[in-house]
Structure 1
């Protein structure tokens, strides 16, 4: 995996991030979702590296990045904290401005990065998500039936960690052929680590609290993402069923928005990497 890339650990405020980076040209950072690690991009990153410097970190709490102690508000696992990590990481790697691509939970980090650090982010790609504040505001019975794991992982009365840790592979699943052997091995090591499972639950707890509050505050203040935004969703997942045209949700956030569906299931970097790369290269290369 990631031939020609360098793997290292770099310190940011409050965490150490495991990161792979390689290629030449304008910088783009790829942010994975739950419950993956950065290796989910192993078919995408090398294809972009011919004309981009590609940076793939494990988000804090995920994979082999550090798992900071939490607090009562779960703020160490807020998307604001994770976005600050990425801004500092890119500074450490010498990139003042860059594009950011986020999938699933990583898309919330990517959007928060564009909102909190607008002078740093040149282009934003969000994959298979709508903003946390909107998802919860628009939640209905269909959402509760399809995405009930948000509330299971996010509640604290009967923590989900004990259930997941009893048989993480049964809980998360995963196809080693579809994912690729090394990517699957990295993922498997992560989900079998109770510290990772706890941190991933903290991510969801932050989502129901401080992350939603941050989104709602920005929406009330009329803050918008000013850089060009590409929003893609998986046609064989349920985002379109829940929201019809997900672009309609994102239009209240982005002044320059385009996008559409990809013929894929949820994990499009693993299931439809060629189509995803075509979309990304076209968008990233626009003048």
Structure 2
């Protein structure tokens, strides 16, 4: 995986992150979702590395990156804290400004990073996500049915007990579909109790704290200053849940929001890497 990329544990002020980076050109930070690690980008990153310096970390709490000591420290698991990690990481690598894309749970960290650090993020791509506040406020029967895990994962103690009883059965995954090395990294993550608790912390902070940060921004009229492009999986449920996905995002952005669906299931970086890489390259290179 990731031929020509560097793999390091990078110590930052608040966290130590496992990071893979390589390529040349303008910096592009890619943030994975749940329950993946940075290796989910193993097919996309090399394609983008022909045009960008691609940086792929394990988010705080995920993979082999640091786990906050207190599983109930919601601030430490918050997207605001993870956004600080993103900026600190790019500082450490020597990048004052950068492009940013986030998938699934990583999309919430990407959104928060761009809101809190508007001078640093040049363009933002959101993959399979809407703001946490929007998801919760629009929650009805279908979301409660399809997205039940949001609320279950936010409970205390019970979800980790259920998951760790049989992580492979809980999360599924297929080596043939994911690629062997990516699958092995994923399996190592979901079988590690500290990582499972770290991933659940992302959901707990969403319910306890992150939505409040979104609400404060909306009340204050703060919006994304950079161009925003939204990509969603046509074989997943984002359109079913929200209809016009771009209209959900438009109130959060100063500029006109662009985007489209791609022919994929939820894990688009693994299921349709070529189309995703092409869409990201087109957006980040457009003037």
Shorter chain as denominator, the TM-score bin is over 0.9
User: Residues 45-100 of structure 1: CA distance to partner in whole angstroms, max 9, x if unpaired?
Assistant: 00011111000000011001011213645111000000100100000000000000
Mapped to 2, the partners of 1:71 and 1:259 lie a distance apart of 36
Mapped to 2, the partners of 1:227 and 1:152 lie a distance apart of 34
Deviant stretches of 4+, over 3 Å:
none
Tell me which residue corresponds to 2:179: 180
1:227-238 aligned within 5 A: 227-238=226-237
Q: Is the 8 A contact 1:73 1:210 kept in 2?
A: no
User: Residues 178-197 of structure 1: CA distance to partner in whole angstroms, max 9, x if unpaired?
Assistant: 11000000000000000000
Q: Secondary structure at the match of 1:39?
A: helix
User: TM-score, normalised to structure 2's length?
Assistant: 0.98
User: TM-score, normalised to structure 1's length?
Assistant: 0.98
List runs of 5+ in structure 1 lacking aligned partners.
Answer: none
Q: CA deviation at 1:222?
A: 1.0
Mapped to 2, the partners of 1:265 and 1:159 lie a distance apart of 28
Q: Is the 8 A contact 1:14 1:68 kept in 2?
A: no
Mapped to 2, the partners of 1:126 and 1:191 lie a distance apart of 25
Mapped to 2, the partners of 1:199 and 1:159 lie a distance apart of 14
Mapped to 2, the partners of 1:69 and 1:133 lie a distance apart of 27
Count residues with an aligned counterpart.
286
Mapped to 1, the partners of 2:219 and 2:170 lie a distance apart of 37
Matched, 1:98 2:82: no
Tell me which residue corresponds to 2:142: 142
Tell me which residue corresponds to 1:190: 189
User: Residues 259-285 of structure 1: CA distance to partner in whole angstroms, max 9, x if unpaired?
Assistant: 011110000000011110111111111
Q: Is the 8 A contact 1:73 1:209 kept in 2?
A: no
